[in-house]
Chains A and B, each alone.
Chain A
């Protein structure tokens, strides 16, 4: 029998590596993760691999059904919309708008939320109590209403809705960081490094963040599926991306009038949103499952 390891050295994987080992166990999660990576690749490469531009009109091919129906044309695989724009290219460009922007939105609010949350975890007394109540109030205002108010202040448009969604997501991250940091601070290993004379910032950087990062990532996936739905909802309501942009929600709103004659202009963008939200949720689900497994051992 071959021995691949001569020295019996014990390996201690980092928290992130442990997470990955537990994460890849269930096959459903791996499929979801594959779809997630596929969407990221699509978002990055959209402008290179799409057959047509997202606004190019083919006036002799208006409202062409998808290629598998009898009147379809194989050069427009998923058909065209009322202005003769290729659905496939628009959906692919839309990936970088709806899905790609949701990742950026979540990252920005993650960074801001973690900074505020860890600072607030270090303070105590009346300041933190006021902040806590303030967060509770913000969290219980419906997210769409909050986004609408911010859009009312900044004015409609894709960029302003992104800021609105960032602000809507920040309180969640503040809340979870605050709770996680306070929880970790009570543990003995933090006390040990405190007795070694480490400052609070140093403890945060070297002791606490590596241990709470997976909680933050799992919250980030939740926030991302919310962000996709929110970007699309605001686009659908006409407050986000303007109509010519191939944002999925705006495309759907554009197709509503033609729903009865050309149903594919509505169900394709809807399916795209559903697909990306499910992929994100599967990744999040796997993450939470992995966390639970690790806690049990």
Chain B
């Protein structure tokens, strides 16, 4: 387990190294002055610029410049937004929790719906249920997410009027900012309308979460189906059958656990895909998250914001990736211990 942890951390370190190099080189690649792109100070006077150049060690070699950039990053200084003139760090801290909330709820929903349905498809392999599930899965991951978002808004918020179509919570409620995660903040707050606020926030969450979760859920269906088929084909299942276990006993006690492990290994890879979908969904549902902020900052040519967003969003993905790796290792002894005698 120790070696496993060390390997993951060395991978994380290497990844962060590459990411920071990438984001540092972006400041050269973006149009305009490199120092201005790095710090976001577009209205700085020549004296201020000279001070900044000294601070970022512009006269020294590229390597020193890079290290001073890293130093700034470690102190939480990502420069200032070119449009709002607020520190990028503040902007991101205001918006990241909304994205974390949306994507994590969507990931859980996708897993809890997709994996059991996929198992069903595998159990009814080559029967009508299997074909129907496969057809739904095909449509689910082919549907363009922006189109789906618009259709869902039209049907459920405009025509039926069941659910709100934009934002994270109704403006009537005032929720103090504690963790940034809306649902947790509401539960922590001591407002007398806590329960109403919680209901309202949940109602706002339903449509975007469904839109984000649909495509990953269908991918989990297919992964779960093929994992289950693979497991049902193994010798230990045959042995269990030969012992006279009933079909449900085999599925619940033996097949399901081993199939879930196989699916969990691939969840991390799907998370980057889920973030892409979430970015577009945030634009459609006016969700105050980091994806919408990034897409807006490209309209406004806010290059400092794009660099900061790249680092924070990718770090978030890597952290989720590593957490899922640890869950996988905790569930599967084969992954964490060296194989003996094989």
Contacts and interface: CB of A to CB of B under 8 A. Distances in A.
Nearest to A228: B144
A133 B295 CA distance: 28
Given A137-B19, A140-B321, A148-B295, A281 B142 contact: yes
A266 B306 contact: no
A144 B279 contact: yes
A144 B147 CA distance: 16
Given A144-B280, A145-B313, A237-B280, A139 B272 contact: yes
A142 B317 contact: yes
Interface string A246-278: 000100100010011001001101100110011
B299 A238 contact: yes
Interface string A271-294: 001100110011001000000000
Contacts of B15: 133, 136-137, 140
Interface stretch (B116-124, B150-158, B191-199, B234-242): B150-158
B18 interface: yes
B146 A236 contact: yes
A144 B281 CA distance: 12
B138 A282 contact: yes
A134 interface: yes
A259 B154 contact: yes
B318 interface: yes
Interface string A217-247: 0000000010001001100111100000000
Given A259-B150, A270-B151, A152 B30 contact: yes
B310 A145 contact: yes
B283 interface: yes
Interface in B289-312: 294-295, 298-299, 301, 303, 306, 309-310
B307 to A, nearest CB: 9
Nearest to B274: A142
B273 interface: yes
Given A141-B310, A145-B279, A134 B18 contact: yes
Contacts of A153: 26, 29-31
21 contacts: A137-B15, A140-B321, A141-B272, A142-B279, A143-B276, A145-B276, A145-B314, A148-B294, A148-B295, A152-B298, A152-B303, A229-B144, A233-B146, A237-B295, A249-B144, A270-B150, A270-B151, A277-B143, A277-B144, A278-B138, A282-B138
Contacts of A142: 272-273, 275-276, 279, 313, 317
B306 A133 contact: no
Contacts of A274: 139, 142-144, 147
B37 to A, nearest CB: 10
B14 interface: yes
A267 B18 contact: no
Contacts of A140: 15, 269, 272, 314, 317-318, 321
Nearest to B134: A285
A151 interface: yes
A278 B279 contact: no
A149 interface: yes
Contact of A141 (B139, B150, B314): B314
A274 B145 CA distance: 10
Interface of B: 11, 14-15, 18-19, 22, 26, 29-31, 138-139, 141-147, 150-151, 154, 158, 269, 272-273, 275-276, 279-280, 283, 294-295, 298-299, 301, 303, 306, 309-310, 313-314, 317-318, 321
A291 B150 CA distance: 38
Nearest to A266: B150
User: 7 closest A-B pairs (Cβ-Cβ)?
Assistant: A270-B147, A277-B142, A142-B276, A144-B276, A142-B275, A278-B142, A273-B144
B138 A281 contact: yes
Contacts of B283: 237
A285 B279 CA distance: 28
Contacts of B18: 133-134, 137
Contacts of A256: 150
Nearest to B275: A142
A214 B261 CA distance: 29
Nearest to A147: B276
A239 B294 CA distance: 13
A149 B19 contact: no
B234 to A, nearest CB: 16
A277 B139 CA distance: 9
A266 B152 CA distance: 13
A49 B139 CA distance: 29
A226 to B, nearest CB: 9
A237 B144 CA distance: 13
B147 A151 contact: no
